[in-house]
Amino acid sequence: MIHRIGVLTSGGDAPGMNAAIRAVTRTAIYHGIQAVGIRRGYEGLLAGDLVPLTRSSVGGIILHGGTILRTARCDAFMRAEGVNAAVSILKENDIDALAVIGGDGSFHGAKELADRGVNVVGIPATIDNDVAGTDCTIGFDTACNTALECISKLRDTASSHDRMFIVEVMGRHAGYLALETGLACGAEFVLVPELPVDLDAISEKIHYAKQRGKTHSLIVLAEGVMHASELADKLKGRCDYDPRIVVLGHLQRGGAPTCFDTVLSSRLGAAAAEALIAGRSGLMVGRVHGRIVESPLETAWTKKMHLDEDMRHLVDMLSI
Ligand code: F6P
């Protein structure tokens, strides 16, 4: 029987994390179980940085961006001594179950804890959407909408000046954010780390688009491909524009979560707490085809993810 559930947010923050913290806390309290927040992810866990979570202390946060528990990336947790120390700290503080809100790196840490007998469930949250076992991660939808809002403003000025903009979005290893926003904003090209870059094809398409009377060109570039300035240098002289660049960067991690992310966070947070209360552990919760499902934690990184190449084709086809 579980008595006290700990909750932490780890890795890069994502809009909706607060709604997930609230859902874990309120679900625990609803079932007569205490909730405790662990500040600054695994780093705070190792420092014993705890804060009691009550029904009211998670009030008013559902629509706030960031994470009230703050977050960190923790090198010490990559080593066995770090994980062992965390197990002892959890025991000393009577935390007999843990909800980890974060991406696949955070889930690796969660798996290490589960292997040492800690009851743990992962809640996938990252703007990169690069976690298998769920169709979407918490924060992805909001980040796409933020990028889209910015790009829509850029389109206005791009059209007025007959300009080409290269918009660099986040995503070191994954192009989901670039592809989704690129399709949504009608970009001419989307460049993602998973697929090769064809500079000839880019310059040719942009050239013909301009000849047909297009008043602007947009390229959405995932940061993992190359820096926007590098791409601009490569394209200068190869197409009819002097490209301007915009790097959206951490803007995409902030802001109030969308309705979609708030609902997703609430459903996943509640499902994680209920799984822990029922005595299930070593798993992650996710949303697959609209339903909340549980899968082993390692699904997050062992199940192969595929970028939807049909989406990339759509970007090409619809921007002729
Ligand atoms: O959380 C994911 C992410 O935003 C990636 O898209 C990005 O590459 C990385 O984190 C940036 O990390 P940091 O905030 O540590 O610079």
Domain, as residue range, for 282: 4-139+257-302
Shared-domain flag, residues 166 and 74:
no
Residues 229, 118 share a domain: no
pLDDT, tens digit, 9 for 90 and up, residues 101-154:
999 999 999 999 999 999 999 999 999 999 999 999 999 999 999 999 999 999
Domain co-membership, 117 together with 263: yes
Closest residue by Cα to residue 4 from 30, 36, 26, 47: 36
Q: Please give the tally of structural domains in the chain.
A: 2
- Residue 9 inside a domain? The answer is yes
- Convert the pLDDT of each residue in 57-104 to its tens digit: 999 999 999 999 999 999 889 899 999 999 999 999 999 999 999 999
| Mutate-to-test residue for ligand 1 from 43, 104, 170, highest number of ligand atoms within 8 A of CB | 170
Whether 265 maps to a domain, the answer reads yes
Q: How far apart are CA 258 and CA 6, in angstroms?
A: 26
Q: Give domain status of residue 312, yes or no.
A: no
Whether residue 20 sits in one domain with residue 82: yes
Predicted pLDDT at 230: 97
Decide if 284 is inside a domain.
Answer: yes
What's the rounded Cα separation, in Å, for the pair 36 and 54?
8
Nearest Cα residue to 16 out of 301, 287, 281: 287
At residue 162, what are phi and psi to the nearest 5 degrees? 55, 55
Q: Give pLDDT tens digits for 166-192.
A: 999 999 999 999 999 999 999 999 999
Task: Report the pLDDT averaged over residues 274-288.
Answer: 98
Reported confidence tier of residue 231, pLDDT bands at 50, 70, 90: very high
Q: Is 44 in the pocket of ligand 1 (CB under 6 A)?
A: no
- Tell which atom from ligand 1 comes closest to the C-alpha of 172: 8
CATH of the domain at 163: 3.40.50.460
- Residue 209 pLDDT class (50, 70, 90 cuts): confident
Residue 207 has pLDDT above 90, yes or no: no
Q: Are residues 113 and 208 in the same domain?
A: no
Q: Give yes or no for residue 126 CB within 6 A of ligand 1.
A: yes
Q: Are residues 90 and 229 in the same domain?
A: no
- CATH code, domain with 43: 3.40.50.450
Q: Is the same domain home to 107 and 178? A: no
In a domain, 320, yes or no: no
What is the value of pTM for the model shown?
0.97
**How far is it, in rounded angstroms, from Cα 205 to Cα 200?**
9
Residues 55 and 124 in one domain: yes
18 burial via Cβ count (<10 Å: 0-12, 13-18, 19+): buried
